[in-house]
Amino acid sequence: MVATDSERDAIAGVLGRAGFLAETEVVSTDEELARSLAGTVDVIVCADVLPGFGIGDVKARCAAEGKKVPLVVYTPELRDTSVRMAAKLGAADVVDAAGLSRLPLVLAREIRRARESVAASARGSLLERVVDAMPFVVFVKDASERRLVVANQTFATTFQVTKEWLLGKSDFELFPKEQAESFIAQDSDVLAGKSLRIFDEVARTAGTDRIYRSLKVPLLDDRGDGEYLLGVAEDVTESRRAVEVLKKSHTISARTLASYQRRAQNMEILRQQNEDIERLTAELERARRRSEEGPAHEGDTRSRVDSAFLANVSHEMRTPLNGILGYCDLVLREQGERLTPDGRRDLNVIEQNARTLLGLVNDLLDLSNLEAGRVDVVTEPIELDVLLDECMETTFLLLRGREIALVVDVAPEVREIASDSLKLRQILVNLLSNAAKFTERGKITASARADGDALVVRVQDTGTGIAESDLPFLFDKMKKVDGARPRHLSGRGLGLPLVRELVHVLGGRVQAESTLGRGSTFEVRLPRVVRAAASRLSEKRTSELPRLLYVDDSAQNRDILRRILAGTFQILEAEDGEQAVERAVRDIPDLVLMDLALPHLDGWEATRRLKAHPLVSHVPVIAVSAFVSGDARERAKLAGCVAYLTKPLERDLLIATVRRHLASNENRQPTTDNRQPTTEATRQRETGNET
């Protein structure tokens, strides 16, 4: 409070009678106010008649200290001059002696508004970090002058300037005249057509012409007119160069070239998705307008818009990413030795960028679902030593040749547990990846022990360590803690917050200990349910390869899976739910991999029909889908699916999951032999035409 003693007593009395609990400090000079502003101040009550220290002086000091603190003016008598002065200086409210009883309500209101403003600023900061982390050029132009109003860090890095320098610039200030005219013409087409368009452009950046694939979409105002233009551009120069290198290599088979051409067509899939994207944009616009209809519903409406946006965008982005990652993996495994060093490097760059974007989508969606409580815990038997070994294999790929020992130490009493395997795998992979990222040499150890009724998992590293002052913020998604770590070790900053939320969902807790320069230890404690002493998973004793029926309406996805599982399983195929039921009853597969978003008959209903049919009711069905919501998982479980895998598929995880359910299903096979295929199917296998 900036007030005299008598004013202070009157104000304190009103606050006390109202039960308003607050820590107050009275100042009467500029020096005293400066010292107070050095701490935390939620609101300032200022008397307008304080001798030698008025409202203007208070506002000036707040501005000098960089503090945006709400100001409430107290005056013994409400006068026009007081009101005008308060309004001119931006005061939040004016309270006189006669109306002093409403001061507690005014203060509570302003404190609430100030805290909401801080929270909104933090959310905006997180969104800016996400956009800056994307490996694509992201920008927004105003529709009238086509000048930049938003530019992400990738844009600035590409031009070797700052983001602030880019704002307000036009294409004519960034590119040669011919290129700028071409970009402006494209922008006009997008704004006039009011729909998403995709362009292949040549743009000169840092003195070099590069090839970009740009997606541009208009942002419409309430009247339906284009107000802004949003653009996302990917530098495809290296991928084009990689394709040319492959074409010039006489040792590469026609089959590999064909797969590369199909991979190049993945972006064409985006063109075919324009209608769905436009529909999503319209839905988001309607939701935005509903959110403006009343402040009382603002929070709920925004939550619904965020959920719809994340769910739809996740599914739309996973489809092309599945193709990109799948074909990169196939080419690297099948033709890796024949590629030139440049070609292999370029393919690795493509794969790395795709995985970076996929990781961002996954982390954001998982955090959103966890914080909103839209997740279910699915308890199932887990071989913890096997799971940790698989997670370590993933970690090994991140070491990039560094001399680091990876150690797994699982006590016998916790080798078989019951928990949610998907969530536990996410926790372990995030902790191990974090350790690998910040360890240059030494050792990374993952250990598991029983402590009473709790499972204790520790991940220890000999890396750079974390400063003690940063430990309280380690799991805070609003602040990325890198400490003294090298800049090249920076990550997305969402892995540890995601670990905390996942551990919380499983009913446990996570903590960290660290010494700067000596390494870190992360400890996860979870409620433990030890599996009964049951037989270990046994390998199937048969000379015939297990038969898998893969159901997916995408020929591209079926081609990828058929090739990555070649020599391990026989693959049968179906394009929709109706074909799946017919093929399964005819050929009796050992296991079914079922996509959920299928034409004619969706995967949920197809699974229910399989489980109701006496010939195939015993066959395990694993859901395979780009949907990652808890609702989709629950529906799959209720339909009869024994597991749920999300696209893009990880080969090792897929094979491990399939083998686990094949082994556990052996003892549940029907007593009669229902696996006799029709004569036509038998003839196809004998002639080698089975797909």
Over residues 17-32, the pLDDT tens digits come to: 767 766 667 777 778 7
Looking at this protein, which amino acid is placed at residue 142? D
Looking at this protein, which amino acid is placed at residue 21? L
199 strand-pairing partners: 214
Count of CB atoms within 10 A of residue 66's CB? 7
Residues 291 and 332 in one domain: yes
Residues 408 and 365 in one domain: no
pLDDT at 639: 93
pLDDT at 26: 74
The 3-state DSSP composition of the chain as helix, strand, coil percent (nearest 5) reads 50, 20, 30
Residues 92 and 14 in one domain: yes
pTM of the model: 0.37
Q: Is residue 346 part of a domain?
A: yes
Q: Is residue 691 part of a domain?
A: no
Tokens of 326: 């799948």
Over residues 430-454, the pLDDT tens digits come to: 999 999 989 999 999 999 998 877 8
Distance, in Å, from the CA atom of 503 to the CA atom of 632, rounded to the nearest integer, reads 22
Residues 505 and 418 in one domain: yes
Name the percent of the chain lying above pLDDT 70: 71
**Contacts with 59 (C-beta within 8 Å, 6 or more apart), sequence order:** 71, 89, 90
Over residues 120-162, the pLDDT tens digits come to: 666 666 777 778 888 889 999 999 899 999 999 989 888 888 8
CATH number at residue 456: 3.30.565.10
Q: Which own/partner pairs from 252-257 qualify as long-range (CB within 8 Å, at least 24 positions apart)?
A: 252/335, 252/338, 253/335, 256/331, 256/334, 256/335
Mean pLDDT on 344-361: 71
| Residues constituting the chain | 691
Residue bearing tokens 């609702």:
631
Residue bearing tokens 């508004």:
113
Q: Is residue 193 part of a domain?
A: yes
Count of CB atoms within 10 A of residue 492's CB? 15
Nearest in space to 354 (alpha carbons), one of 266, 480, 419: 266
pLDDT at 158: 86
Mean pLDDT on 291-305: 48
Nearest in space to 624 (alpha carbons), one of 600, 601, 611, 607: 607
Residues 224 and 150 in one domain: yes
Distance, in Å, from the CA atom of 602 to the CA atom of 580, rounded to the nearest integer, reads 10
Distance, in Å, from the CA atom of 141 to the CA atom of 143, rounded to the nearest integer, reads 6
Q: Check: CB of residue 522 under 8 Å from CB of residue 459.
A: yes
Q: Is residue 690 part of a domain?
A: no
Q: Is residue 533 part of a domain?
A: no
Over residues 211-263, the pLDDT tens digits come to: 898 899 999 888 888 899 999 999 888 877 777 666 555 444 444 444 444 44
Position 672 pLDDT exceeds 70: no
Q: Is residue 395 part of a domain?
A: yes
Distance, in Å, from the CA atom of 535 to the CA atom of 381, rounded to the nearest integer, reads 12
Q: Is residue 249 part of a domain?
A: no
CA 351 to centroid of chain Cα atoms: 17
Distance, in Å, from the CA atom of 18 to the CA atom of 405, rounded to the nearest integer, reads 64
Residues 385 and 520 in one domain: yes
Give the up-direction half-sphere exposure of residue 218: CA atoms within 13 A in the CB hemisphere.
19
Mean pLDDT on 600-618: 91
Residues 266 and 195 in one domain: no
- Of the candidates 356, 372, 388, which is a domain's last residue? 372
Position 210 pLDDT exceeds 50: yes
Residues 391 and 504 in one domain: yes
Place 582 in a pLDDT band, splitting at 50, 70 and 90.
very high
- Of the candidates 98, 126, 154, which is a domain's last residue? 126
**Contacts with 266 (C-beta within 8 Å, 6 or more apart), sequence order:** 320, 323, 324, 327, 556
CATH number at residue 14: 3.40.50.2300
pLDDT at 294: 44
Residues 19 and 107 in one domain: yes
Q: Number of folded domains in the chain?
A: 5
Over residues 178-206, the pLDDT tens digits come to: 889 989 999 999 998 888 888 888 888 87
Residues 108 and 179 in one domain: no
Name the percent of the chain lying above pLDDT 90: 21
Element (H, E) at 45: strand 44-47
- Quote the longest CA-to-CA distance of the chain: 104
Q: What angle do CA 588, 589, 593 make, to 5 degrees?
A: 135
Residues 384 and 522 in one domain: yes
- Of the candidates 212, 241, 270, which is a domain's last residue? 241
Count of CB atoms within 10 A of residue 296's CB? 8
Distance, in Å, from the CA atom of 465 to the CA atom of 462, rounded to the nearest integer, reads 8
295 strand-pairing partners: none
Residues 389 and 366 in one domain: no
Stronger pLDDT, 381 or 577, i.e. the higher one: 577
Over residues 651-661, the pLDDT tens digits come to: 888 998 998 89
SS3 of residue 460 by DSSP = strand
Q: Is residue 247 part of a domain?
A: no
Alpha-carbon distance values, 543 to 347, 386, 569, 672 (Å): 37, 25, 12, 20
Pairing of strands 442-451, 454-461: antiparallel
Give the up-direction half-sphere exposure of residue 684: CA atoms within 13 A in the CB hemisphere.
11
Place 76 in a pLDDT band, splitting at 50, 70 and 90.
confident
CATH number at residue 149: 3.30.450.20
Strands across the sheet with 442-451, in order?
404-410, 442-451, 454-461, 519-527, 509-515
Cβ neighbourhood burial of 99 (10 Å; 0-12, 13-18, 19+)? exposed
Stronger pLDDT, 645 or 82, i.e. the higher one: 645
Distance, in Å, from the CA atom of 295 to the CA atom of 256, rounded to the nearest integer, reads 57
Cβ neighbourhood burial of 304 (10 Å; 0-12, 13-18, 19+)? middle
**419 backbone dihedrals φ, ψ, rounded to 5°:** -160, -170
Residue 205, domain extent: 134-241
